[in-house]
């Protein structure tokens, strides 16, 4: 299956928190969108890897993505090295996305920064013909995504651009809440964590509102591009006027 957008992140729920609205927008346009989770989030304080995997699939259904896979890398301990790069190159070549969305390049959780750089490096390596990989016993052809964009996670960074997700916001929040084991549950007896506090999701909504306001929309999601995006003309940057 060829994908238009492939979102890759270290943990299940990274994508939902940062860019689910954008993925929903493109899936609703009929474009093929997929997600790769590098790890099962097995070091998470709450829940179990099995629960997280099911929650990830539940969230994928809410978002309408075409495919979601988990690469089974070691949560907390994966590295940006040859072994992990080649594994990711295999899946980039498998799905041949035009656009890859990746973790932030630096963040509170060290896996996010490691993941962001690993994903960006693998996207470059995937385009080199002399980097050889196989999938299901067949040699793969080189493929390099046209764009790699990084999400904004816990730490705020000035976005390169902001996507209007006003129409997709409620569906995004539903996808986030599919991770019932991770976020606030007054009936849970599990330990309180940074993301399970009662106001955590309120902060997610507040940031979306702040980013939306900056582009004249109700809600938005910000992205960072290490390379300057090229535009065919100035008109593509003009959003429809708000009623």
Domains of the chain: 5-227 (3.40.50.10320)
State the pLDDT confidence band at 241, using cuts at 50, 70 and 90. Answer: low
Task: Describe the chain by its helix, strand, coil percentages, rounded to 5.
Answer: 35, 15, 45
193 contacts 108 by C-beta, under 8 angstroms: no
State the pLDDT confidence band at 221, using cuts at 50, 70 and 90. Answer: very high
pLDDT, tens digit (0-9, with 9 covering 90-100), for 174-218: 999 999 999 988 888 899 999 999 899 999 999 999 999 999 999
State the pLDDT confidence band at 242, using cuts at 50, 70 and 90. Answer: low
Integer distance in angstroms from the first to the last C-alpha of the chain? 39
Residue 19 has pLDDT above 60, yes or no: yes
Percent over 90 (pLDDT), the chain = 91
Q: Helix 49-63 crosses helix 14-28 at what angle (to 10 degrees)?
A: 30
Residue 226 has pLDDT above 70, yes or no: yes
Tell me the HSE value of 44 on the side-chain side, using a 13 A CA sphere.
25
Residue 119 has pLDDT above 80, yes or no: yes
Query: Quick one: pLDDT at residue 187?
Result: 85
Residue 243 has pLDDT above 70, yes or no: no
116 contacts 225 by C-beta, under 8 angstroms: no
How high does pLDDT run on average in the chain? 96
pLDDT, tens digit (0-9, with 9 covering 90-100), for 132-171: 999 999 999 999 999 999 999 999 999 999 999 999 999 9
Query: Quick one: pLDDT at residue 185?
Result: 87
Residue 235 has pLDDT above 80, yes or no: yes
24 contacts 15 by C-beta, under 8 angstroms: no
As a whole number, mean pLDDT of residues 94-101 equals 98
pLDDT, tens digit (0-9, with 9 covering 90-100), for 5-17: 999 999 999 999 9
């Amino acid at each position: 299956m060829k994908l238009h957008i492939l979102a890759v992140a270290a943990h299940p729920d990274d994508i939902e928190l940062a860019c689910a609205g954008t993925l929903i927008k493109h899936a609703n346009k009929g474009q093929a969108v997929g997600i790769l989770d590098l790890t099962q989030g097995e070091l998470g304080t709450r829940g179990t890897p099995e629960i997280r995997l099911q929650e990830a699939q539940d969230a994928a259904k809410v978002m309408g993505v075409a495919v979601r896979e988990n690469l089974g890398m070691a949560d907390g301990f994966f590295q940006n090295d040859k072994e992990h790069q080649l594994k990711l190159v295999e899946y980039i070549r498998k799905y041949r996305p035009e656009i890859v969305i990746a973790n932030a390049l630096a963040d509170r959780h060290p896996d996010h920064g490691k993941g962001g750089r690993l994903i960006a490096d693998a996207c470059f390596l995937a385009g080199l013909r002399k980097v050889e990989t196989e999938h299901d016993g067949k040699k793969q052809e080189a493929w390099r995504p046209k764009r790699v964009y990084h999400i904004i996670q816990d730490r705020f960074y000035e976005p390169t651009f902001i996507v209007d997700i006003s129409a997709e916001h409620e569906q995004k929040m539903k996808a986030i809440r599919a991770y019932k084991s991770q976020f606030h549950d007054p009936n849970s007896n599990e330990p309180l964590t940074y993301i399970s506090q009662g106001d955590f999701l309120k902060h997610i909504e507040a940031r979306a509102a702040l980013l939306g306001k900056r582009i004249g929309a109700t809600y938005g999601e910000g992205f960072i591009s290490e390379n300057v995006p090229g535009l065919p003309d100035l008109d593509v940057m003009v959003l429809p006027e708000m009623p």
